[in-house]
Amino acid sequence: MKHVKGRLDESILVCVYYGLNGERLIRRGHKMATMLDCPLYILSVDSQPLDAFDAEKSGYIEQWKNLSEELDVEKFILVDNEKRPIQKVIAEVAKNYGISQIIVGQSAQSRWEEITKGSFLNVLLKEVPFVDFHIVAVQRPTEDDTYDTYEKGVRAYLIKEQDNFKVAFTCPKYVSIEGIFFKEIGTDFDNGIFKFTYNDKMHEIHISEGLVTDKEKLPQEFTSPLRQ
């Protein structure tokens, strides 16, 4: 059962598109919603139907859904197979859920970057005139923004080799763990982080030269010596 929010006159909508910036935006929205004690909604829009999503898109959607559950988000809204302009979709969602504040990320690789252009912003303001907009710029990585030091995530697998687990990028005959691998920028080795879902929770482990460095974080089911 969700926590009853203290302020129902305020509600926040975070607009996310594929990329690592999405998780930061969701957490930013969660901080604001926690301070205001108000509902938080997450919106992602795609012109393709859900069943046509590739592994990378599906991976991000899965991560955001799990993060939304972890943070007790009121609702994760995915609008797929959408041919209308983005501002029309945002306006519709804002009206349907009584949104008072909208958070959008500015990124050179993000579809949402158009919102920072004057003409688009003016159109959006006309569509949603009574909402406050927060344009979050992408900043240089800090200790709290480590995800910016990684490349775009790719589908990968952890396979067991004797006492170690190594990352592979083609589906092996026997798959131990399937997830998303984020490689560190500027390295020739498979160094980075591997994220996967287990028992409806998101897990993250570190990879160094293709091998798992913190096996203790893996579910016991996968590290059991009886597992083949």
Q: What is the pLDDT of residues 105-130, one digit of tens each?
A: 764 334 454 554 445 566 677 788 78
Q: What is the mean pLDDT of residues 37-53?
A: 91
Between 148 and 5, the higher pLDDT residue: 5
* pTM metric for this prediction: 0.57
Torsion-angle region of residue 42: left (phi > 0), alpha (psi -120 to 50) or beta? Answer: beta
Residue 173 has pLDDT above 50, yes or no: yes
DSSP string, 70-135: HTT-SEEEEE-S--S-HHHHHHHHHHHTT--EEEEEE-TT-GGGGGGSHHHHHHHHHHSTT-EEEE
For 35, half-sphere exposure in the C-beta direction (CA atoms, 13 angstrom radius) is: 6
Q: Average pLDDT, whole number, for the chain?
A: 79
Residue 148 has pLDDT above 80, yes or no: no
Between 195 and 20, the higher pLDDT residue: 195
Residue 164 has pLDDT above 50, yes or no: yes
Number of H helices, E strands in the chain: 5, 11
